[in-house]
């Protein structure tokens, strides 16, 4: 069967649905093709099932891209306040967690219901279980699925990144971009736990489950949040954040006692010894972790000079991750369709008229904390307004 639309959107995730809604509200006839059996599967598992749908402190600085200016225009034209207004229109109860992160009180299903209801209102037609087999360009675009053909003058690629392949992530968007001659910035897993190897692994991984507030640093990037020891390495928000900036082979630095000095208590103690050192970590690190770290990194001596050096070591613990846990555990894919190929106002390809890329498939990656959905809403809206 042949269907004719004003625009076909590939991918029924956050960005694709939002784009379709915006275009539908403007009177465009829009089809969304989703290969899974339902839309928004990733939304459902996001934010631990409660969907961290935006962040009230969202700024362009919260995004990683080869072109740090690219996201500014779209982010300015669809803000967290705009999405919050939509959430409130649908009477979805939500709450603020740390660092400006907004979550649903009940479940991420509320956000999916919101998107479905807006799709209905805007007349968007959603085709699930639609596996795209070919995309051709004639005067417009022709998209072939197993049973149907969709024709439209505009094609929006919103097929997401490579993270969580078992949920349906595919290379599709990148391959399509390449097919039309667009460049891709090399992709890598982002917001992903680190794997430790060798000594680091044998020294710490049996403490899996232990967490502490730290400052994780890599190059000039600094995140003060929780770090969690896992069976294979390190995780927790501080580590996930830094992982998006990490290049394989580089070390990371961890401050184990942010804003605190550990050695004054040792210097003041009656006996300067391991017991005094262990006690000095109280309030900074869980006891088991402090003991283990001390076993592996005792001060060279107990005199003032050695303690000064040791204090520095506590704030600059150098770890060499062997790798990350890869796309299986990554929340996002960094890299993607090169922003130099796209209009920052509309997300349309500068080379191929009528071809748009939005959401995670584009080389714009948000930090942890609701920024990736805000990019999906904002880039989807930018394209939806141009269809
Ligand atoms: C576990 C987890 C938790 C997360 N939590 C948060 C959070 O709380 N807050 C936040 O901001 N971000 C979070 N993220 C990131 C966020 O989910 C993504 O950045 C966001 O969903 C990207 O939106 P998108 O529409 O670009 O891609 P997706 O949401 O991935 O949607 C792409 C859609 O395209 C479909 N598709 C793929 N290939 C094809 C094809 N060939 N044909 C048809 N359809 C296709 C997919 O099935 C999918 O439905 C989380 C990610 C994960 C993995």
pLDDT digits (tens, 9 = 90+) for 140-158: 999 999 999 999 999 999 9
Q: Is the predicted pLDDT of residue 95 greater than 90, yes or no?
A: yes
Q: Is the predicted pLDDT of residue 170 greater than 90, yes or no?
A: no
Specify which residues 31 forms β-bridges with. 8, 125
At residue 6 the predicted structure's pLDDT band, cuts being 50, 70 and 90, is very high
**What pLDDT sits at residue 165?**
87
Contact 258, 285 (CB under 8 A): no
The mean per-residue pLDDT over the stretch 374-385 comes to 98
Q: Is the predicted pLDDT of residue 167 greater than 90, yes or no?
A: no
At residue 297 the predicted structure's pLDDT band, cuts being 50, 70 and 90, is very high
Report the pocket of ligand 1 as residue ranges, CB < 6 Å: 10-16, 33-36, 41-42, 45-47, 51-52, 132, 158-160, 163-164, 168, 170, 172, 331-332, 359-360, 370-373, 376
Q: Which of 231, 238, 237, 229 is nearest to 211 (CA)?
A: 229
Q: What is the best residue among 8, 10, 11 to mutate for testing ligand 1's pocket, by most ligand atoms within 8 Å of CB?
A: 11
**What pLDDT sits at residue 232?**
97
Q: In angstroms, what is the span from residue 42 Cα to ligand 1's centroid?
A: 5
Q: In angstroms, what is the span from residue 331 Cα to ligand 1's centroid?
A: 9
Q: In angstroms, what is the span from residue 333 Cα to ligand 1's centroid?
A: 10
At residue 84 the predicted structure's pLDDT band, cuts being 50, 70 and 90, is very high
**What pLDDT sits at residue 192?**
98
Three-state secondary-structure class, residue 355? strand
Q: Is the predicted pLDDT of residue 336 greater than 90, yes or no?
A: yes
CA distance 331 to 195: 16
Q: Closest residue (by CA) to atom 30 of ligand 1? A: 160
Q: Is 184 exposed, middle or buried (0-12, 13-18, 19+ CB in 10 A)?
A: middle
Strands 30-33 and 7-10: parallel
Q: Name the token pair of 155.
A: 């094609």
Contact 115, 90 (CB under 8 A): no
CA distance 306 to 316: 15
Question: What mean pLDDT value characterizes the chain?
Answer: 97
Length of the chain: 387
Q: Is the predicted pLDDT of residue 385 greater than 90, yes or no?
A: yes
Sorted by sequence, the CB contacts under 8 Å of residue 74 that are 6+ apart come out as 344, 345, 347, 375, 378, 379, 381, 382
- Tens of pLDDT, residue by residue over 189-236, are 999 999 999 999 999 999 999 999 999 999 889 999 999 999 999 999
Query: How many helices (DSSP H) and strands (DSSP E) are in the chain?
Result: 13, 23
What percent of the chain clears pLDDT 90, i.e. is strictly above it? 97
**What pLDDT sits at residue 168?**
81
The mean per-residue pLDDT over the stretch 325-345 comes to 97
**What pLDDT sits at residue 106?**
98
The mean per-residue pLDDT over the stretch 325-331 comes to 97
Q: In angstroms, what is the span from residue 173 Cα to ligand 1's centroid?
A: 12
At residue 166 the predicted structure's pLDDT band, cuts being 50, 70 and 90, is confident
Q: Name the token pair of 5.
A: 């639309």
CA distance 284 to 282: 5
Q: Which H or E run includes 198?
A: helix 198-204
The mean per-residue pLDDT over the stretch 325-348 comes to 98
Contact 21, 122 (CB under 8 A): yes
**What pLDDT sits at residue 23?**
98
Specify which residues 95 forms β-bridges with. 103
Q: Closest residue (by CA) to atom 38 of ligand 1? A: 159
Contact 75, 347 (CB under 8 A): no
Q: In angstroms, what is the span from residue 353 Cα to ligand 1's centroid?
A: 25
Q: Is 243 exposed, middle or buried (0-12, 13-18, 19+ CB in 10 A)?
A: buried
Q: In angstroms, what is the span from residue 373 Cα to ligand 1's centroid?
A: 9
Q: Closest residue (by CA) to atom 49 of ligand 1? A: 13
**Beta strand ranges found along 247-338 (DSSP E):** 252-255, 317-319, 323-324, 332-337
Atom number of ligand 1 nearest to Cα 41: 49
Atom number of ligand 1 nearest to Cα 55: 11
The mean per-residue pLDDT over the stretch 71-96 comes to 98
Q: In angstroms, what is the span from residue 161 Cα to ligand 1's centroid?
A: 7
With b meaning 16 or more CB within 10 Å and e meaning fewer, what string describes 211-239?
A: bbbbbbbbeeeebbbebbbbebbbbbbbb
Atom number of ligand 1 nearest to Cα 131: 42
Q: In angstroms, what is the span from residue 203 Cα to ligand 1's centroid?
A: 36
Q: Is the predicted pLDDT of residue 100 greater than 90, yes or no?
A: yes
The separation between CA 281 and the C-alpha centre of its own chain, rounded to angstroms, equals: 33
Handedness of CA 159, 163, 167, 169 (dihedral sign): positive
Specify which residues 348 forms β-bridges with. 356
Atom number of ligand 1 nearest to Cα 379: 26
């Amino acid at each position: 069967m042949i269907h004719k639309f004003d625009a076909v959107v590939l991918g029924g995730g956050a960005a694709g649905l939002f784009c379709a809604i915006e275009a539908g509200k403007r009177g465009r006839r829009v089809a969304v093709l989703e290969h899974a059996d339902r839309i928004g599967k990733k939304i459902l598992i996001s934010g631990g099932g409660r969907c961290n749908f935006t962040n009230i402190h969202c700024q362009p600085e919260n995004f990683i891209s080869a072109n740090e200016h690219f996201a500014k225009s779209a982010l300015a034209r669809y803000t967290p306040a705009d999405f919050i207004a939509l959430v409130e229109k649908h009477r979805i109860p939500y709450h603020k967690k740390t660092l400006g992160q907004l979550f649903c009180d009940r479940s991420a299903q509320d956000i999916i219901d919101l998107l479905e209801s807006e799709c209905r209102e805007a007349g968007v037609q959603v085709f699930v279980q639609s596996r795209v087999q070919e995309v051709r360009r004639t005067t417009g675009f022709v998209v072939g699925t197993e049973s149907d053909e969709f024709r439209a003058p505009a094609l929006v690629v919103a097929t997401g990144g490579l993270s969580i392949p078992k949920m349906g992530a595919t290379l599709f968007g990148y391959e399509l971009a390449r097919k039309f001659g667009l460049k891709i910035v090399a992709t890598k897993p982002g917001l992903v736990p680190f794997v430790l190897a060798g000594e680091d692994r044998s020294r710490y991984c049996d403490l899996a489950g232990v967490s502490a507030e730290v400052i994780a640093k890599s190059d000039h990037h600094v995140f003060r949040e929780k770090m969690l020891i896992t069976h294979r390495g390190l995780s927790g928000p501080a580590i996930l954040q830094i992982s998006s900036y990490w290049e394989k082979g580089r070390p990371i630095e961890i401050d184990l006692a942010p804003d605190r000095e550990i050695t004054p208590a040792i210097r003041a103690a009656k006996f300067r010894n391991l017991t005094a050192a262990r006690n000095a970590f109280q309030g900074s690190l869980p006891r088991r972790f402090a003991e283990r770290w001390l076993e592996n990194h005792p001060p060279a001596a107990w005199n003032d000079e050695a303690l000064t050096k040791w204090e520095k070591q506590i704030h600059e613990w150098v770890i060499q991750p062997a790798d990350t846990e890869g796309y299986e555990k990554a929340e996002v894919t960094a890299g993607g369709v090169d922003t130099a190929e796209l209009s920052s106002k509309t997300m349309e390809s500068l080379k191929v008229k009528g071809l748009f890329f939005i959401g995670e498939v584009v080389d714009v990656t948000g930090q942890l904390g609701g920024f990736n959905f805000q990019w999906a809403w904002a880039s989807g809206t930018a394209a939806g307004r141009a269809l």
